Amino acid sequence: MKRFVFRLERLLQLRRSMEREQARRLGETQRTQEEHRRQVELCAARVSQAQSQVHAAPPECRTAGTLTNLGLVLDAARAALTAADTAHRQASARVEAERTRYEEARQACRTVERLREQRHADWQTQLSRDDQHTIDEIALRKHQGPER
């Protein structure tokens, strides 16, 4: 009985390796995206806090200098929020690009895996046919009796 040999085994191994590498990259970009999302939330909270400070200042404390400083703090918080939001959007775009590459790598690997499964099934079918042929020959010789 000959053993099953898949001639594209090395290709399958390479594609599996590529799929794992792409999954690792996708995970990294997703972690980066999550960090940027947290940064956006933090900046949004700072903007909200700065706005509440501007509105909560008692009228007797609203001097021109205080209002200017609060306005500068609010502007800085808004600028940080805008920058964080831009970084988050860019990270989201990178995640989508990496997800697309991962899906392509996964599909390429799955294609070769399906081919391997099909070839293995064909090998098993041929092996069964060969076994059946051998059994039929033995039965035929036994039925015919000894040769004279």
Q: How many CB atoms lie within 10 A of CB 119?
A: 15
As a whole number of angstroms, the distance between CA 23 and CA 35 comes to 18
Query: Is 54 part of a structural domain of the chain?
Result: yes
Burial degree of 74 (CB within 10 A; 0-12, 13-18, 19+) = middle
14 token code pair = 């390479």
Q: pLDDT per residue over 54-68, tens digit each?
A: 777 677 767 778 778
Query: Is 34 part of a structural domain of the chain?
Result: yes
Count of all residues that appear for the chain in the document: 148
N-to-C CA span, the chain: 31
Domain of residue 52 covers 9-114
Query: Is 89 part of a structural domain of the chain?
Result: yes
Q: pLDDT per residue over 25-41, tens digit each?
A: 999 999 999 999 999 99
Taking residues 107-116, report their average pLDDT: 96
Query: Is 125 part of a structural domain of the chain?
Result: no
Query: Is 55 part of a structural domain of the chain?
Result: yes
Query: Is 143 part of a structural domain of the chain?
Result: no
Share of the chain above pLDDT 70, in %: 95
Q: Which residue has the higher pLDDT, 70 or 16?
A: 16
Taking residues 107-122, report their average pLDDT: 96
What pLDDT does 98 receive? 97
Listed residue (72, 91, 81, 84) closest to 45, CA to CA: 81
Question: pLDDT grade, residue 71 (50/70/90)?
Answer: confident
Taking residues 63-90, report their average pLDDT: 90
Which residues are CB-neighbours of 67 under 8 A, at least 6 positions away?
Answer: 54, 57
1 pLDDT higher than 70: no
Query: Is 122 part of a structural domain of the chain?
Result: no
96 pLDDT higher than 70: yes
148 pLDDT higher than 60: no
Q: Domain count of the chain?
A: 1
Query: Is 29 part of a structural domain of the chain?
Result: yes
- At 94, the amino acid letter reads R
What is the overall mean pLDDT for the chain? 91
